[in-house]
Amino acid sequence: MPIFQHGKNAFLALGFENTVGTTTPSTGNIASTTSVTGAAITASSLLASDSLIATVGSTSYYGAFLLPANNASISPLPALNYPVFTTTAITSGTTTITLGNTLQSSVTAVTGTTQILPMWNLSPYTNDVSLPTAIEAAETTSFNAAGVKSFIVGLKDYTLTFSGHYDGSSTIFGQAGGLDALFQNMITYQNTPGNFISFVYGPSDPGAFVGGSASIKYWGQGVLTKYDLKSSVNGVVTYDAELQVTGVVSRYSI
């Protein structure tokens, strides 16, 4: 019999530098198959309050995205971004981020500097997530096709859409201005050529990101193309957002 899952515990987190123009992004080195040595963790860039994913029981979990220099491959994964988490607070100075997931036995060390982006957990502010895969069918009909169209498989396209409740509180993840300020900083971050918004999405639950069992995750990077605030006289203020994915989407159990 099929084992179906409820989406009430779906997980969505985004990665971008929230202090654009005010600090140097954090960097480190993927020194082994199990850890990342932070060569230059920047104050206010990856502070514990910024990168806190969740607190389960008495244990806090912190997250980040790794972007190897020159798109170096994190074998056997595509050279895009790599979501990691740790129970050790990511603070200023030199620290070690343990690759606390089921991928660590497969990941090889990477030579060169790796940028470390904060991971922002939007799950508490999101109630709907969609990651459709569009596959282009390129027409190959010729004059002798007897009036019947023919096609071949073309390019794939991914778009991450998500929506939820707007929170205008004074502080979210240590960010003054609430959720709206976070999105505005996201827009500022991607204005720099080469900067993309990283994402990791779990359709059913956060998995090992909060100390649970590993479960399927999708991750990649893209451009925030839509941020829409909606207000109605008799309803909760909501937001809609859309991320146009660039490049491949990875799928693995984390």
Other CB atoms within a 10 A radius of the CB of residue 182 amount to 19
User: For residues 115 and 40, what is the distance between their CA atoms, to the nearest angstrom?
Assistant: 10
151-165 and 133-139 strand pairing: antiparallel
244, HSE (Cβ side, Cα atoms, 13 Å): 5
Asked if 26 and 115 touch (Cβ cutoff 8 Å), the reply is: yes
SS3 content of the chain, % helix, strand, coil (to 5): 10, 45, 45
Nearest to 53 by CA among 253, 222, 205, 185: 205
User: For residues 43 and 27, what is the distance between their CA atoms, to the nearest angstrom?
Assistant: 12
Nearest to 53 by CA among 65, 41, 37: 65
Peptide bond into 193 cis (omega under 30): no
149: which residues sit within 8 A by CB, 6+ positions away? 139, 141
Nearest to 98 by CA among 71, 63, 67: 63
pLDDT value of position 129: 97
User: For residues 204 and 6, what is the distance between their CA atoms, to the nearest angstrom?
Assistant: 7
174: which residues sit within 8 A by CB, 6+ positions away? 47, 49, 50
Nearest-Å Rg of the Cα atoms of the chain is 20
Block means of pLDDT (10 residues each) for the chain, length 254 residues? 87 85 68 63 63 75 78 60 78 63 55 78 93 96 90 96 87 77 90 92 90 88 96 92 94 84
pLDDT value of position 104: 52
User: For residues 97 and 39, what is the distance between their CA atoms, to the nearest angstrom?
Assistant: 11
Sign of CA dihedral 36, 191, 203, 211: positive
User: In Å, what is the CA distance from 130 to each residue of 122, 205, 240?
Assistant: 14, 14, 11
How would DSSP label each residue in 6-54? -GGG-EEEEE--SSTTTSPPEEEEE-SSSEEEEEEBPTTTS-HHHHEEE
